[in-house]
A and B are shown apart, each in its own frame.
Chain A
């Protein structure tokens, strides 16, 4: 079964607005990662946050992790039309060699 679940399933905003996506997971993790997938393409890694980290930044991306609530959020600030894509969280579980992906949030940024 999938480990992570993203919320919302779809999000539509205007260019310049901020976009927030959430991810919840079920078991203890080693780290959590966010990926982007443009239509018809493979996934591209965005950011990784470790279980002992609470917040991480990369350019216009901000990721938070709350291990007590087993949840993470991805914030994209000042969104652009080029940010239109599906965003997935993936969790790496302790003592496990694989990662589990959520079903994704489909973000549409209107120009």
Chain B
């Protein structure tokens, strides 16, 4: 059981470049999330998905897009990277929040720097 994995682990982009972060989970979770974590702050939710083929906006969605074509994968895209998107990105997955198993399982993070 690999849990939640993220690729890549590190990335440096120039302003205006695009990239996709990949998250994969092997726990058959319905829910998946993308967060960003900035120094001195907690995690802020970017987008999330309640199941295959569905996505929804979180707290800070601007500048990001997501797709959930397969249940086990959740992709986060940056179409035109900006320095303000320099951050550590975490993916997480969980069973439905309405069930008793509501804990989120987190990936190791992707450290992104936009120059």
A positions within 8 Å CB-CB of B: 1-2, 4, 30-31, 33, 35, 40-45, 48, 88, 90, 92, 96-104
Contacts and interface: CB of A to CB of B under 8 A. Distances in A.
B90 A45 contact: no
A96 B33 CA distance: 13
Contact of A97 (B35, B59, B97, B107): B97
A9 to B, nearest CB: 8
B50 interface: yes
B2 interface: no
Interface string B84-114: 0000001010000100001111111100000
B52 to A, nearest CB: 15
A48 B102 contact: yes
A103 B35 CA distance: 13
Interface in B32-47: 33, 35, 40-45
B77 interface: no
Which of under 10, 10 to 19, 20 to 34, or 35 or more describes the interface residues of B?
20 to 34
Contacts of B59: 1, 98, 100
Given A30-B97, A98-B58, A104 B42 contact: yes
Contact of A88 (B42, B50, B108): B42
A100 B45 contact: yes
Contact of A33 (B45, B48, B103): B103
A37 to B, nearest CB: 8
Nearest to B108: A42
| Best-buried of B48, B56, B106, B108 by chain A (most CB within 10 Å) | B106
Given A30-B97, A98-B48, A43 B108 contact: no
B74 interface: no
A43 B104 CA distance: 9
Nearest to B31: A97
